Amino acid sequence: MTSQPPSPPEQPAEAVPTCYRHPDRETWVRCQRCDRPICPDCMRDAAVGFQCPECVAEGNRGVRQAQATFGGTVVNTPYVTWALLAINLLVYGAQYLVGTSVTATLAMWPAGVVLGDQYYRLITAAFVHGGVFHILFNSWALFVLGPNLERAFGHVRFIALYLISALGGSTLGLWLDAPNTFTVGASGAIFGLFGAIFVVGRRLNMDVRGIAVLIVINLVITFLPGFNISWTGHVGGLITGSALAAALAYAPRKNRTAMQVAAVVGALVILGALVLLRTMTAVG
């Protein structure tokens, strides 16, 4: 009988790793940063291999996000401008199809605001127009000015600038127009954009002589007899838009967002107070 050498002891089978976030899923892939096993749902592409969600979040922490020139997210497509243009055109289409009832319902009417509490007219008036030339001019101006300002301020700040400029024009009309005057058009908001583009140009040390001449020409046209143009809407929008744009553009970088929010809220409070004061004094 020959003796056989003893057999080596059996090695325990290596356990298959499981995902650290999903223990029921087996995987041989590991995070390149922390070496924890990760399943396909937890894999995030990295420069080499994959990383887990926590390591990706840790790597992104402290990375400065790109912003628009004066705060807000970077604007690749000026969606707010296109939306405003679409609303203006749709409302004008409704005016054309339905008739004067749309205009009468949405136009700025001081007596309706003061006596009927129809405060919505202060804003809705900016979306109705008095004719083809009126809608075409305002739409062209918004098409030219809107994208540049939206990219400078971001979506939210731009829509605030537009609507508050419109409100500023309506507020001056509420104080100075005859009670039974009906006013329509986005001109208050557009003049606010004129003022804003001038302010932005000055802030960025650009040549603003062209926009200054354009503003002066439009103001002269505003006061020419026979044109039936609401000077209160134009002047009120220009003053409001210029002031708000200055507050947004010149806000210190360190506390920019807080200062800009305060500027928007402050503008709304001032205009709201003027509207309420006018309402109370007229009723009294």
pLDDT tens-digit readout, 224-255: 987 888 899 999 999 999 999 999 999 998 89
What values do phi and psi take at 22, rounded to 5?
A: -130, 85
Output the pLDDT for position 259. Answer: 96
Q: Which residues are catalytic?
A: 187, 234
What average pLDDT does this structure show over 51-59?
Answer: 82
- 113-145 pLDDT, tens digit per residue, is 999 999 999 999 999 999 899 999 999 999 999
Burial code of 41-79, b = ≥16 C-beta within 10 A, e = fewer?
ebbeeeeeebbbebbbeeeeeeeeeeebebbbeebeebe
Output the pLDDT for position 56. Answer: 80
The Cα 36–Cα 20 span in angstroms is 7
- 167-197 pLDDT, tens digit per residue, is 999 999 999 999 999 999 999 999 999 999 9
If pLDDT is split at 50, 70 and 90, which confidence band does 66 have?
Answer: low
Could you tell me the pTM of the whole model? Answer: 0.77
Q: Which two tokens stand for residue 271?
A: 């205009």
Return the bridge partners of 44, or none. Answer: 51
Burial of 178 (0-12, 13-18, 19+ CB in 10 A): exposed
